[in-house]
Amino acid sequence: MKLRHGSDAVNLVVVGSIGLDTIKTPAVTRRDILGGSVSYACAAASFFTSTGMVGVVGRDFPARYRAAFRTFHIDQQGLQSADGKTFRWSGVYERNLNNRRTLSTDLNVFADFAPDLPPVYRESPFLFLANIAPELQFRVLSQMRALRFVAADTMDLWIKTARPALLKVIRQVDMLLINDSEARELTGEEHLVQAARRVLALGPRYVIIKKGEHGSLLFSKHGLVLVPAYPVDEVHDPTGAGDAFAGGLMGVLARARRITPGTVRRAMVYGAMVASFTVEAFSLEKLQTIRRADIEARVRQFLRMIRC
How far apart CA 171 and CA 234 sit, in angstroms, is 39
Residue 78 as a binder of ligand AMP (CB under 6 A): the answer is no
**Which residue in 78, 215, 240, 271 binds ligand AMP (CB under 6 A)?**
240
How far apart CA 134 and CA 146 sit, in angstroms, is 21
How far apart CA 300 and CA 296 sit, in angstroms, is 6
Minimum separation from the CB atom of position 300 to ligand AMP (A): 26
Binders of ligand AMP in range 156-185 (CB under 6 A): 157
**Number of amino acids touching ligand AMP (CB under 6 A):** 17
How far apart CA 56 and CA 17 sit, in angstroms, is 8
Q: If DSSP codes are grouped into helix, strand and coil, which group holds residue 262?
A: helix
Q: Which is nearer to ligand AMP, 52 or 240 (CB)?
A: 240
Q: Which is nearer to ligand AMP, 21 or 75 (CB)?
A: 21
Minimum separation from the CB atom of position 87 to ligand AMP (A): 7
CA atoms within 13 A on the CB side of 247: 35
| CA-based max dimension of the chain | 56
Residue 241 as a binder of ligand AMP (CB under 6 A): the answer is yes
Residue 106 as a binder of ligand AMP (CB under 6 A): the answer is no
Contact 302, 269 (CB under 8 A): yes
Contact 199, 186 (CB under 8 A): yes
Q: Which is nearer to ligand AMP, 259 or 270 (CB)?
A: 270
Residue 17 as a binder of ligand AMP (CB under 6 A): the answer is yes
Q: Which of 281, 299, 294 is nearest to 68 (CA)?
A: 281
Q: Which of 41, 71, 293, 290 is nearest to 177 (CA)?
A: 41
**Which residue in 14, 243, 249, 268 binds ligand AMP (CB under 6 A)?**
243
Binding mask 29-68 for ligand AMP (x = CB under 6 A): ------xxx-------------------------------
**Which residue in 19, 215, 248, 251 binds ligand AMP (CB under 6 A)?**
19
Residue 89 as a binder of ligand AMP (CB under 6 A): the answer is yes
How far apart CA 106 and CA 241 sit, in angstroms, is 21
Q: Which of 295, 294, 277 is nearest to 286 (CA)?
A: 277
Minimum separation from the CB atom of position 7 to ligand AMP (A): 29
Q: CB nearest ligand AMP: which residue? A: 35
Residue 132 as a binder of ligand AMP (CB under 6 A): the answer is yes
Minimum separation from the CB atom of position 293 to ligand AMP (A): 25
**Which residue in 14, 15, 21, 154 binds ligand AMP (CB under 6 A)?**
21
Minimum separation from the CB atom of position 307 to ligand AMP (A): 29
Beta bridge partners of 80: 56
Residue 242 as a binder of ligand AMP (CB under 6 A): the answer is yes
Torsion angle defined by CA atoms of residues 276, 280, 283 and 286, in that order, rounded to the nearest 10 degrees: -90
Secondary structure E strands in 180-301: 206-210, 216-220, 223-227
Which residue ranges make up the site for ligand AMP (CB under 6 A)? 17, 19, 21, 35-37, 89, 105, 131-132, 155, 157, 239-243
